[in-house]
Amino acid sequence: MHELSVCQGLIRQVERIAAENAATSVDRIVLKVGPLSGIEPELLRHAFTIAREGTVAALAELELSQGSIKVRCRLCGGAGEAAVNRLLCPDCGEWQVDVTEGEELLLLSLDLETSL
Amino acid sequence: MCDTCGCNVTPGNAHLVDKKTVDVLTNLLQENDHVAAHNREHFERHGVLAVNLMSSPGSGKTSLLEATIEALGNELSMAVIEGDLETENDAERIRARGVPAVQITTGQACHLDAHMVHDALHDMALDDIDVLFIENVGNLVCPASFDLGHHANVTLLSVTEGDDKPAKYPVMFRAADLVLLSKSDFLEMIDDFDTNRAERHVRELANAAPVLTLSVKRPDSLGPWFDWLRESVIALGEGRVMNPRVQPEGATLHSGP
């Protein structure tokens, strides 16, 4: 359950960005949590309800997208989707592939409210 | 009414509130990665190879360190950071072999992070050390997500755990720079662990890491592990850039605005 540590780091980043923008509250936090990131979205959601307490993001909505896993083959150039524990080329079936999508653990954007 | 939950915004004053979206694109582990980079610089300035050992609890990480100290103690100067939820037991086992060891007790935390390693380094004389082993908390899930500032991930899989562990814990085994199939002396007693199948599961994670089979009960099986260690120390000394295999994507591919 390392999702709570990750979430606490997230909240510190959000608080810093909110302060930089003189925001009074954070409405929405948008993340990308790839299937190979090692983070379980449901556990992150639970951790978020704990970590946001008493912060500028106390009422923020958490929006998570997972995306898919994509690989590109170094041998034949084939590209496509792969399963989490079978990162194989969709064309030739070999394992010498680069993962081009699926490992992201990113804070994409924040919706902020500021007093004019 | 307060400034916290928005209850001070009424139809009468809503025009005074501005809403905006800020694009960020930073890694969620940014704070950890920042400290990890600092740790790595620190290791490199002192010429220390830092190796992160990961596995399930009881796969033989501490026993492997004991055997390594026994065999290479005269050749390489070593130190160990031990991570466990509780007890000083592992650090005491290492110190009994005459090697400095700092125990980190994480309480409820299931992994080490870069901050914990940074704090432990205050108790360590790095100038006198060639190799620092960081024995992570026994866990095949969480430790894989945290860069500690080390140079290589070594993941142990004891043969009694089953050869499909890489398929079950893909994030961990994808992060491995070296996989050690430990307790190989048990292979004679169990008929369902196939070292080739274990290696195939690692390859199916698009990981080319060497897979070595060894047992501390069979000292002659440890040679390839010692060679990997020696070669890594030389590579670091020659200034080769060494990062653990899976670097946090956000930090390397997406720089913040």
Task: List CB contacts (< 8 A) between B206 and chain A.
Answer: 71, 87-88, 95-99
Here the ipTM equals 0.86
Q: What pLDDT, on the 0 to 100 scale, is given for residue A116?
A: 72
Architecture of domain B28-234: 3-Layer(aba) Sandwich (3.40)
CA proximity to B26, closest of A110, A28, A51: A110
Q: What pLDDT, on the 0 to 100 scale, is given for residue A115?
A: 81
- Does residue B17 belong to the interface with chain A, where contact is any CB pair within 8 Å? yes
- Does residue A114 belong to the interface with chain B, where contact is any CB pair within 8 Å? yes
Number of domains within chain A:
1
pLDDT tens digits for range B147-202:
999 999 999 999 999 999 999 999 999 999 999 999 999 999 999 999 999 999 99
Q: What pLDDT, on the 0 to 100 scale, is given for residue B94?
A: 96
Q: Take residue A109 and report the two structure tokens written for it.
A: 């954007």
- Chain B 65-84, residues with CB within 8 Å of chain A CB atoms: none
Residue A35: pLDDT above 50? yes
Q: What pLDDT, on the 0 to 100 scale, is given for residue A33?
A: 96
8 Å CB contact of A84 and B20: no
Q: What pLDDT, on the 0 to 100 scale, is given for residue B240?
A: 87
* Angle at alpha carbon of residue B248, lines to A74 and B129, rounded to 5°: 105
pLDDT tens digits for range A58-102:
999 999 999 999 999 999 999 999 999 999 999 999 999 999 999
Nearest residue of B to residue A114 by CA position? B18
CATH assignment of the domain containing A94: 3.30.2320.80
Nearest residue of A to residue B15 by CA position? A116
Q: Take residue B235 and report the two structure tokens written for it.
A: 């590579």
**Containing domain of residue A69, as a range?**
3-113
Reported in sequence order, the residue ranges of chain B that DSSP labels E, i.e. its strands, are 17-27, 49-54, 78-84, 101-105, 131-135, 152-158, 178-182, 211-213
- pLDDT beneath 50, residues of chain B: 1, 248-257
